[in-house]
Copies of this chain bind each other. A is one copy, B any other.
């Protein structure tokens, strides 16, 4: 599977060929291999990423060096440490590949010049930010309303492909349970 930036944007706003060329000129394509880091906690965050193909995880490492998965991002998703990206501060999370991955990279300057040159992209990014907010709220709700088993089932139903592509340990970290518990739940 492979994401298409133009189709992705045109789900929200429509673009002429010229406009899309203008949009595209703000991005750089990069490739990363499994296990490589796109963002490293403690370092500046240069880009927001749009995933063309592959799979990455946004992680936070706590005081005890335990890793927690804040989000997965696959084809068609935007990801970054947005807090750090927009404020120009150091990353508090890391972004790491779970598969070989191709992304489009957008710097903050490119982002600003893109919105300045093509106002309707602001609406596009607003919708995306809102969608991110809503998705995060839904995940909070799943913590409030469901036990581990139910969260697991819902994830399985919503993103069956994740269970093919991601080691169980990673899913456990995303669900907020130990890998042993997840293993026991799967039956």
Question: Which positions in A face B, CB cutoff 8 Å?
Answer: 60, 62, 66, 68-71, 82-83, 86, 119, 122-123, 125-127, 129-130, 132-134, 136-137, 139-141, 143-145, 173, 176
Q: A68-B144, A140-B143 are in contact. List 6 more A-B contacts (CB 8 A).
A: A71-B137, A82-B134, A86-B127, A122-B122, A126-B126, A129-B132
**Contact A133 B129, CB 8 Å, known A60-B145, A141-B68:** yes
20 interchain pairs (CB within 8 A)? Answer: A60-B141, A60-B144, A66-B145, A68-B141, A69-B144, A70-B137, A82-B134, A86-B130, A122-B122, A122-B123, A122-B126, A125-B126, A126-B126, A129-B129, A129-B132, A130-B133, A132-B133, A136-B136, A136-B139, A144-B173
Report the bound CA distance from A161 to B122 in whole Å.
36
Q: In the bound complex, what is the Cα–Cα distance between A130 and B126 (angstroms)?
A: 8
The reply to whether A144 and B82 form a contact with Cβ atoms under 8 Å apart is no
Residue of B nearest to A138 (CB): B83
The answer to whether A82 and B122 touch (CB under 8 A), given A140-B143, A143-B143, is: no
Q: Which 10 A-B pairs have the closest CB atoms?
A: A136-B136, A129-B129, A68-B144, A133-B133, A132-B133, A143-B143, A126-B126, A62-B145, A122-B122, A83-B134
Decide: A144 near B86, CB < 8 A? Known: A122-B123, A136-B133: no
Set of chain B residues within 8 Å of A66, measured between Cβ atoms: 145
> Which residues of B lie under 8 Å from residue A136 when comparing CB positions?
133, 136-137, 139-140
Closest chain B residue, CB of each to CB of A86 = B130
The residues of B that contact A119 with a CB separation of less than 8 Å are: 119, 122
Give the residue name and chain of the B residue nearest to A141 (CB): B60
Chain B's closest residue to A60 (CB) is B141
Q: Considering the complex, give the chain B residue whose CB is closest to the CB of A84.
A: B134
